[in-house]
Structure 1
């Protein structure tokens, strides 16, 4: 069972490889058809079949801050991955886990995380990945809301999990992975020891629930998005395109993206396991130097790096290939706009054109760029050219548009809400869609515009689509604001600021103003070796004023040690915006008024 993207069905002129700027977006869309079997199980597709076909091949290369783990070279084979998954699946069945039950996974990038997901899927249960960065309150909310009965965690999350248990009364069993001091739960090694593995994954419908992922909460309380098994198939065109026709012989993948989030699970771990590409799991804090060293040592060819990571790498190591032997052939980025400064640096310093991607938990991997795809002749051919500053065009199989408040497609060049239609360009159902929000039918209905069978799913992100179908990101719909009557998209101003050598990162928000409604304010993280002072403020203002429209330059700049971020690497402008609103209220309060 391998319903991979059918690139061989697309029209392919014989001279594709001769023109590096060739644009075959229309041909790829027109020739592509989804292949979604009625019965599909992620565990069978990502684990069981490879254990039978290529048991000795490496599935995961694992290491922590001290070096390789899970064997002398850090390698876990396909056979061992499935053996452990089968043993854990049998153990979960003995613990009473039934089809559709939620099982929480609170672990970083380690082999046991992959084992846990496959085991849960294999018995028809629903895996619920949770970040090890969550505190007790965040864990308790999600555990209680999901009604999870079992949680699997390691030492990095165990203390927070134990504190969260009091607020999650249905959670009766905790499984401890590795050394967990003072734990009160079942040891992973004891649970699997001598356990006879199940041999085959359960035959689940492609539409059955597989994963429950809670949104990052950038626009309100986190909601659980229920993801079906088929959604992995819906992610494949985006993964293959953004990774320049992955898999190719010798491909090795690594990303610092947390496997607890869509970006790490659906954009990295599961596609790699599905396509048979070895993936590196690193259990250590991200640093630019560590990233380059790891990519050199494992001969990484494909990666997904958040814009925040790329910015840090660009500032810390401007010329990385002078220090490391890199084998990169594809870099994908998502989460925020990359911007032309980082785009140019990837071109020149990494020797790879970054492929931006756009999607969200509910409808992932729908828009982006494609450096290459593999034709029926076995050769790599150009997909469509990336444009600096654009997040790309719809991937094959997805019908994407910019729509207005009434659900009508906006004229090209007019800002609107990026949306995905339930049907592809051929009128067939798009498999990438989530099933709905967990216990939130109202929120699920609000996500769509139109009839249930013929509707648009809104992303809540504002963009402009140009005449060629490229999307130009302006920000979250609630991030875009008006200042003195002008519409301001924060990402353009932030990108301009980051191009200045003194700026490591920046976030732009409105500062309430009694006369103009709002003015542009920038929060700036100063790069190492530069001084935050009034002279730099003036220099940065002049830098932006000389490159963008006069109304876009920041009237106020505040230096900050670090921007508020979600655990997925997105800037939380909402936090800064609320801070500005609080300050405005304080300024407008009568002098000497009582404080409640």
Structure 2
């Protein structure tokens, strides 16, 4: 796809990218920039909260600062020091924001952990991080209690609305007395986030205080120049993950704007209701959520009064089917974004500033020197497949503040992440002549079938265009003659008829659907229907699980 002459007139990318310079102050603290500077305005709202039981509340920046200071002082009284790791095992709720701000006021390292972790997953991360303190509510209290004896470094647990430890509410009743916020440098450790583990054991990525600054160019661009007056942000992304913390909660607070926190299961109708009720203007919706919304509520503006002006999506390729639906059904062009825990928000789109090519990942965001490189670390030519990588410095030679400090207690993994000054992502893409990147899947997800190299993303996107398909995952099935066959696991859209005859007819229809749009060798020779795909808690499809299942079946 080429850029039209009309698009060229509104393509301001070259100027924005070339003129951008990093200005990172040597002294920098996330709490100061995301809360303290807004606290004097008693009317400014930080969090609009609601749960699935209908309970709602509002937290102002003034209250956020006061309660975070009380929490930091309480932790300090109990021995917490600068650099201590503090596990935050909470869902979307006001106390989660309070806990993060308190950690940075204290100069501690926040360790966000998902409430969906079972005892083993929780124990691994608590042990690996050496967390000295944990904050938990009833959602994860049982798992934490089961693992606590396995975590000798864990000294204290603050419990919210449960009996898992010291009462949060009692601790916050005490005045902060002479508590003084820690003075931190931009490069000081701030957040320890564990990778989702789609291709191996989770690793703890240690982020500096400056990482929030590194996120901002992409965040502002992907949210169509956030903030604007009366903007309200919401995302179903778990605040324990990079997508929820660095793409939603902290950037919204950095700009002093309100963010909606919802504690409950993701349901498409609920998502639309929340956006209508709170007047949400900006959101981050991962591709799986968008696909569910598209299939469940095809014409949302006929049922809901929406104020949406920007949608960012990341985690996997969205595909042009979803992008075209959003343009028609929501009046919004989705800005895809690409990044990782280790280097977030580095590539993407901004529909108002440069043309979006449906299906493309976008271009490198201002401030980030990104290339697609080969095995030797050299940039590939347009049209060639390679690995997406981020340089340690921007185009002007300034250090990129978004880059992680390293993997926690894993120097070898940190070294292996780099080729010289290029930090490798493990994700494949093809650059085009205009500088757009086209996603080719995880390097680990690529496979060969009958001598052809297959990437699952293109086939999955094609399958989702079929009205009967809600989501799809493509993996190799071992085959003695061809090496592998292309196999698709499919979650059907609501209301699709099932039964032996209906399934056989649908499989034939889906195969013909792909045959008619892609290369002959790409159509799925086998199709299996599932109630749900195996997913990480960040909404990414775990193709590794499906690959291993197929390999075991063949054995």
SS at match of 2:273: helix
Are 1:89 and 1:197, in contact at CA under 8 Å, matched by a contact in 2?
A: no
Shift of 1:20: 9.0
Shift of 1:531: 2.8
What's the RMSD between the two structures over aligned residues?
A: 1.2
Give the distance between the partners of 2:531 and 2:169, measured in 1 at CA. Answer: 42
Alignment of 1:474-553 (within 5 A): 474-532=440-498, 533-553=503-523
Unaligned runs of 5+ in 2: 1-5
Give the distance between the partners of 2:179 and 2:32, measured in 1 at CA. Answer: 10
Give the distance between the partners of 1:422 and 1:516, measured in 2 at CA. Answer: 42
Are 1:88 and 1:197, in contact at CA under 8 Å, matched by a contact in 2?
A: no
CA, structure 1 residues 135+204, in 2 after alignment: closer, same or farther (shift >3 Å)? same
* Residue 189 (str. 1) matches residue 172 (str. 2): no
Alignment of 1:310-321 (within 5 A): 310-321=290-301
Question: What CA deviation, in whole Å up to 9, does each residue of 1:44-90 have, x standing for no partner?
Answer: 111111103x2320011011012343xxxx22111000000000010
Aligned match of 1:152: 135
Aligned match of 1:340: 320
Unaligned runs of 5+ in 1: 1-17, 373-382, 586-596
Shift of 1:408: 0.6
Aligned match of 2:44: 57
Are 2:35 and 2:256, in contact at CA under 8 Å, matched by a contact in 1?
A: no
CA, structure 1 residues 149+475, in 2 after alignment: closer, same or farther (shift >3 Å)? same
Aligned match of 1:164: 147
Aligned match of 1:565: 535
Shift of 1:365: 0.3
Shift of 1:194: 2.6
Are 2:72 and 2:103, in contact at CA under 8 Å, matched by a contact in 1?
A: yes
Question: What CA deviation, in whole Å up to 9, does each residue of 1:102-145 have, x standing for no partner?
Answer: 00000000010000011011111000000000000000000011
Shift of 1:480: 1.1
Aligned match of 1:379: none
Shift of 1:434: 0.3
- Work out which of the residue numbers 31, 46, 64 in structure 2 matches 1:43: 31
Are 1:48 and 1:200, in contact at CA under 8 Å, matched by a contact in 2?
A: no
Shift of 1:371: 2.3
Question: What CA deviation, in whole Å up to 9, does each residue of 1:15-64 have, x standing for no partner?
Answer: xxx97961111110111111100000000111111103x23200110110
Give the distance between the partners of 1:507 and 1:269, measured in 2 at CA. Answer: 30
Give the distance between the partners of 2:84 and 2:178, measured in 1 at CA. Answer: 18
- Work out which of the residue numbers 264, 273, 284 in structure 1 matches 2:264: 284
Give the distance between the partners of 1:172 and 1:343, measured in 2 at CA. Answer: 48
Aligned match of 2:246: 266
Aligned match of 1:403: 373
Alignment of 1:94-105 (within 5 A): 94-105=77-88
Alignment of 1:318-467 (within 5 A): 318-372=298-352, 383-450=353-420, 455-467=421-433
Shift of 1:149: 1.2
Number of residue pairs matched?
546
Give the distance between the partners of 2:200 and 2:256, measured in 1 at CA. Answer: 37
Shift of 1:196: 2.1
Aligned match of 2:21: 33
* Residue 225 (str. 1) matches residue 205 (str. 2): yes
- Work out which of the residue numbers 103, 107, 117 in structure 2 matches 1:134: 117
Give the distance between the partners of 2:79 and 2:59, measured in 1 at CA. Answer: 28
- Work out which of the residue numbers 87, 103, 107 in structure 1 matches 2:90: 107
Question: What CA deviation, in whole Å up to 9, does each residue of 1:200-227 have, x standing for no partner?
Answer: 5311010000000000011100000000
Give the distance between the partners of 2:190 and 2:177, measured in 1 at CA. Answer: 20
CA, structure 1 residues 128+160, in 2 after alignment: closer, same or farther (shift >3 Å)? same
- Work out which of the residue numbers 53, 75, 92 in structure 2 matches 1:92: 75
